[in-house]
Amino acid sequence: MGHAQAAGASLEGETSVNEQDIRELLGDVKAGRLSRRAFVRTMVGLGLTAPLAGQMLASAGVAQAQTSPTLAKPAKRGGGGHLKALAWDAPVLLNPQIAVGLKDWNASAIFYEPLVYFDPSGNLVPVLAREVPSLQNGGLSKDGTTVTWRLKRGIQWHDGKPFTAADVVFNYEFAADPATGSPWIGVYKNVKQFEAVDSHTVKCVFAQPSPYWLTTGFLIPRHIFEPYKGAKSREAPNNLKPVGTGAYKFVDFKPGDLLKAELNPNYHVANRPYFDTLEVKGGGDAVSAARAVLQTGEYDYASGIAGIDDDVLQRLEQGGKGKVAIAFGGRITHLQLNQSDPWTEVDGERASVKSVHPFLTDPAVKGALALLVDRTAIQEQILGRLGQVAPNFINYPERFRSKNIKWEFSVDKANALLDAGGWKRGADGVRAKDGKRLKMVFQTVTNAQAQRVQAVIKQAAAKAGIEMELKSVVASSYYSSDPANPDTYTHFYADLQLMTYLMGPPDPERLMRVFTSADVATKENNWQRFNVWRYRSDEYDRLYKQAETEVDPVKRAALFIRMNDLVVQSGILVPIALSAKASAMSKALRGVDHNPYEVDFWSLPYWYREG
């Protein structure tokens, strides 16, 4: 696939990093001549983030102290009464291995747990693992090809069955089976062997050195889901009735409406959890959810409120009942340009990877669209403190942020590009070429903020002779994991769509997998992949494959910067803003470590209420 540089995204002089100085500092830390804290301070002074500095230390084999979510107050399990949470974008599926939407991952975290989480500072903290693997404890091999996980003992699934290494291995087998249709299949692409060494030790062997060695996520029980591995994965009754290891046990679930849970008396952390019961109420809209926490105090917590205009949130905060928690990680809001044809079927499939979009592969059109996104207006008039203008797809950690990409808003330059590209205005002002009119269906999720961003882009596009038909899809459909639902963002049956992709861990490897050829969403994989552009590039695939095995942190960062530059300059997307993770919480709620790298309920066992 050819790549033309899109106007509005330019490449400037290459930046350099003094590798030798960093290596010498890392050597000083390993030799005991410099403390970890002093190294982190030095790196922050050079413009890096603290989480990134921690990653560099980890890559160099310097052990970190084991940390955990905020521990405070409650001296016994239970007694906290009822916790009421709102998720206006209501969950519909409670199996994290086959879900593709944040709403379902959030809800699953009430019941299921991973081996480790990332904390708000970007450090790994053990959950079901006894410790975080490192060179020092023998969990990581020096050649980067093996990770050994030692599991906590005495942990039970909610039905009383023991949690063992066999469960961890099963989750690999479940997700890695293409017939399962798990979106996490790509995580295991380089895994050569995944085996139980004994009842509480698991060894993961990679086919080649893997600097990003974290492969597992939320773990589901083998004894319940093994009969449904493969093509039957969506038939499992427990997709809606979770049996996990978490602090709360399943009580009832009405998809799209109400989820209920109760305290797990056998939870593996002493004196946790605090609340006796909890509910997550779905439906409604983001503003109503925020109001119920911030203004009326009817609920304790509301997730996913970053889609509300900041001026509205500030007014609601004046109600005095709650506060808005804001954190920035790697969430990037961007305009996606479909590279396949969503209006034509090929072998019975719309937006097939075998098709080519009638005009969104044209460099002039892609370049014009990049120039027609008024990021300043979007930031100032809509996002406020909930967004930061971003020309890049990768923005965190800072080591991976390209300094090569610049952005510009210019209707005049967009018009000039389209004129030069042979797109002529018709009598109605809409441009056309070779019988194709520049009329586009532009979709996004139904919420006020996203739809206002749509309107800003549409207004500028009209001045350049581009007609846009705006479409909004309710969140329950847009983020659905149902392969039969044509309105999901992974089907992408539109020309353009506005999306926010979540980076998740403070490392870009998982985020940037979405542009690989292997991650293209298709009918064959039930649209359970994230390359919804249907973008294919041999050069990109080569760079990504190289980054997967590059153990030198500085060289690896340079590879991801090249990947970022490649996709932005290709014109298949227009980065708009780094989006905050925002939630509303009661002023009495404690223990909530607002975390841009993980789901809302990552620290739920440690939540409690004061006063």
Same domain, 138 and 246: yes
Where does residue 348 fall: left (phi above 0), alpha (psi -120 to 50 degrees), or beta otherwise? left
For 158-216, the pLDDT digits (tens) are 999 999 999 999 999 999 999 999 988 888 888 999 999 999 999 999 999 988 898 88
Is residue 511 classed exposed, middle or buried when 0-12, 13-18 and 19+ CB atoms within 10 A define those classes?
buried
Same domain, 228 and 335: no
For 92-137, the pLDDT digits (tens) are 999 999 998 889 999 999 999 999 999 988 889 999 999 999 999 9
Lowest mean pLDDT among 475-479, 541-545, 569-573: 475-479
Q: How far is CA 481 from CA 61, 212, 259, in A?
A: 39, 27, 18
Same domain, 354 and 309: no
Same domain, 605 and 516: no
Same domain, 535 and 464: yes
CATH number for the domain harbouring residue 299: 3.40.190.10
Q: Which of 148, 176, 162, 179 has its CA nearest to residue 222?
A: 162
8 in a domain, yes or no? no
Confidence of residue 4 (pLDDT cuts 50, 70, 90): very low
Q: Region 297-305: what's the mean pLDDT?
A: 96
485 in a domain, yes or no? yes
Confidence of residue 35 (pLDDT cuts 50, 70, 90): low
pLDDT at residue 5, rounded to an integer? 35
Same domain, 295 and 369: no
Confidence of residue 17 (pLDDT cuts 50, 70, 90): very low
pLDDT at residue 335, rounded to an integer? 98
Confidence of residue 26 (pLDDT cuts 50, 70, 90): confident
Same domain, 377 and 286: no
Q: Give the DSSP letter of residue 515.
A: G
What whole-number distance in Å separates Cα of residue 603 and Cα of residue 301? Answer: 13
Where does residue 140 fall: left (phi above 0), alpha (psi -120 to 50 degrees), or beta otherwise? beta
pLDDT at residue 20, rounded to an integer? 61
118 in a domain, yes or no? yes
Total domains, the chain: 3
For 251-264, the pLDDT digits (tens) are 999 999 999 999 99
Residue 66 three-state SS: coil
Q: Number of helices and strands (H, E) in the chain?
A: 16, 25
Q: Cα torsion at 182, 185, 186, 187 (round to 10°)? A: 110
571 in a domain, yes or no? yes
Same domain, 381 and 515: yes
Q: What is the 3-state secondary structure (H, E, C) of 258-301?
A: EEEEEECCCCCCCCCCCCCEEEEEECCCHHHHHHHHHCCCCCCE
Within 8 A by CB and 6+ apart from 20, the residues are: none
150 in a domain, yes or no? yes
pLDDT at residue 58, rounded to an integer? 64
Q: Give the DSSP letter of residue 577.
A: E
Same domain, 228 and 313: yes
In this structure, the strands spanning 191-198 and 146-150 are: unpaired
Same domain, 145 and 172: yes
pLDDT at residue 66, rounded to an integer? 46
Q: Region 577-586: what's the mean pLDDT?
A: 95
Same domain, 293 and 367: no
Confidence of residue 546 (pLDDT cuts 50, 70, 90): very high
140 in a domain, yes or no? yes
Q: Which domain holds residue 237?
A: 82-321+587-609
CATH number for the domain harbouring residue 547: 3.10.105.10
Confidence of residue 60 (pLDDT cuts 50, 70, 90): low
Chain-wide mean pLDDT for the chain? 90
478 in a domain, yes or no? yes
Q: Which of 586, 578, 581, 576 has its CA nearest to residue 608?
A: 586
- Asked if residue 87 lies in contact with residue 304, where contact means CB atoms within 8 angstroms, the answer is yes
Same domain, 413 and 561: yes
- Asked if residue 196 lies in contact with residue 168, where contact means CB atoms within 8 angstroms, the answer is yes
pLDDT at residue 19, rounded to an integer? 57
Report pTM. Answer: 0.75
64 in a domain, yes or no? no
For 204-250, the pLDDT digits (tens) are 999 999 888 988 899 999 999 999 999 999 999 999 999 999 999 99
